[in-house]
Structure 1
Amino acid sequence: MTSASARIDHLTTSGTFSLDGGTWEVDNNVWIVGDDTEAIVIDAAHDADAILTALDGRTLRAVVCTHAHNDHIGAAPALAAATGAPILLHPDDLPLWKHTHPGRAPDGELTDGQTLTVAGTALTVLHTPGHAPGAVCLYAPELATVFTGDTLFAGGPGATGRSFSHFPTIVDSIRDRLLTLPPDTAVRTGHGDGTTIGTEAPHLQEWITRGH
């Protein structure tokens, strides 16, 4: 099986994000990477049934969590139960995970530099703390894509105004781990429209100024 067989499917699910006593309506991007027989899901947000429909009978190899805010992991246990796939999370986000799923631990850990392979395509785990302590991005060079969760959006860094987040840390993560990727790398985000590394890179200093 060649890497050319892998493709990226996308769906948007809707629900709520809750933290620090507040709740907000949100739309989330769910990314499915694979071929006609197997796939991984990046961020099982809100609606396990919708994700199962999009999988269309493919073998799910893993439910990968870019971080453990409830809007990104809400459907993960139900999706795992329906498919037998393991839930993978960076251990630094376990405190956040336990807010949402106190009785259900993830099945495995994501570590910086780890490689996940699906449909012959490698995705490298990049630990990018800041939005959350265990936030990760997934870089798939053969697909010229990085899945950034809530670390990098079109227009700048993810939010750092709530518990477990830190603005200088997210800037360091973006500068050191993401803006070093090829400029034509597509940035597929946790919410909203995508962008490219080359589009965002010139604005780093503006973000730093804006954030202080």
Structure 2
Amino acid sequence: MSDSDETPAVRIEPVVTSGTFSLDGGTWDVDNNVWVVGDDAECVIVDPAHDAAPILEAVGDRRVVAVLCTHAHDDHIGAAAEIVEATGAPTYLHPDDRMLWDRVLPAAPDQELADGQRLDVAGTPIEVLHTPGHSPGSCCFLLPDLGVVLTGDTLFQGGPGATGRSFSDFGTIIVSISEKLLTLPEETTVLTGHGDSTTIGDEKPHRQEWIDRGH
């Protein structure tokens, strides 16, 4: 077997888009990480944020089999309608975030996400982890074959996602991270919704510090 045969065909490509996040009467400038996961033939898009053009450029002529949303804050789903129009791909969202989705987009998501659900792209499994706290329907997407978890705004380099706005809860996000993420292998790469990547091993020792800070 050649080296090329041993290399996983599925890859994860980052696209950074910029725009705003609005909730509770405030608006903030943000840069978002969009993740395109697949091989040369097909892919999924995780968190279609702000601007469809660079996302579609990264997709190229591949078939988009799904648009997966870690949660429904407006900065994470703003380009969803345009992506769907261009690709015909179904959108997936946990039902507990519908009230956030409905504030942004008139059409309902096509499919519901559920904890433990398995999706596939190019023969590679994607496991859905329901991780409420940042929002009630927040989910992470685990790709065990790649040793990667896409955490949206649940876990960042340096700690949990924000819980100071409507529909969020600090205690809940700590439970989600502790039970669903920190139990993963420490070498698991964490690809986040904003900012730099990290690993489970780098974040795990700081759990008590996060609780003490209580942010």
TM bracket (short chain): over 0.9
Between the aligned partners of 1:65 and 1:106, the Cα distance in structure 2 is 10
Aligned-residue sequence identity (percent) comes to: 63
Structure 2 residue corresponding to 1:136, chosen from 118, 134, 139: 139
Indicate the residue corresponding to 2:168 in structure 1. 165
> How much has 1:2 moved relative to structure 2?
9.0
Output the amino acid matched with 1:50: P
Aligned Cα RMSD in Å? 1.3
| 1:51-99: CA deviation from partner (whole Å, max 9, x where unpaired) | 1111011000000000000000000111011100001000000001011
Are 2:154 and 1:155 equivalent residues in the alignment?
no
Structure 1 segment 61-210 matched on structure 2, within 5 A: 61-101=65-105, 103-210=106-213
Are 2:41 and 1:31 equivalent residues in the alignment?
no
Output the amino acid matched with 1:54: A
Between the aligned partners of 1:3 and 1:69, the Cα distance in structure 2 is 35
User: 1:200 is paired with a residue of what secondary structure?
Assistant: helix
Structure 2 residue corresponding to 1:211, chosen from 189, 207, 214: 214
User: 1:82 is paired with a residue of what secondary structure?
Assistant: helix
Contact 1:3 1:119 in 2 (8 A): no
Are 2:41 and 1:41 equivalent residues in the alignment?
no
User: 1:201 is paired with a residue of what secondary structure?
Assistant: helix
Using the size of structure 2 for normalisation, the TM-score is 0.96
> How much has 1:188 moved relative to structure 2?
0.1
User: 2:103 is paired with a residue of what secondary structure?
Assistant: helix
Contact 1:2 1:120 in 2 (8 A): no
| 1:26-54: CA deviation from partner (whole Å, max 9, x where unpaired) | 00000011000100000000011111111
User: 2:8 is paired with a residue of what secondary structure?
Assistant: helix
User: 1:122 is paired with a residue of what secondary structure?
Assistant: strand
Output the amino acid matched with 2:193: G
Between the aligned partners of 1:143 and 1:77, the Cα distance in structure 2 is 29
Output the amino acid matched with 1:204: R
Aligned structure 1 segments of 4 or more residues deviating by more than 6 angstroms: none
Between the aligned partners of 2:7 and 2:52, the Cα distance in structure 1 is 27
> How much has 1:147 moved relative to structure 2?
0.2
> How much has 1:120 moved relative to structure 2?
1.1
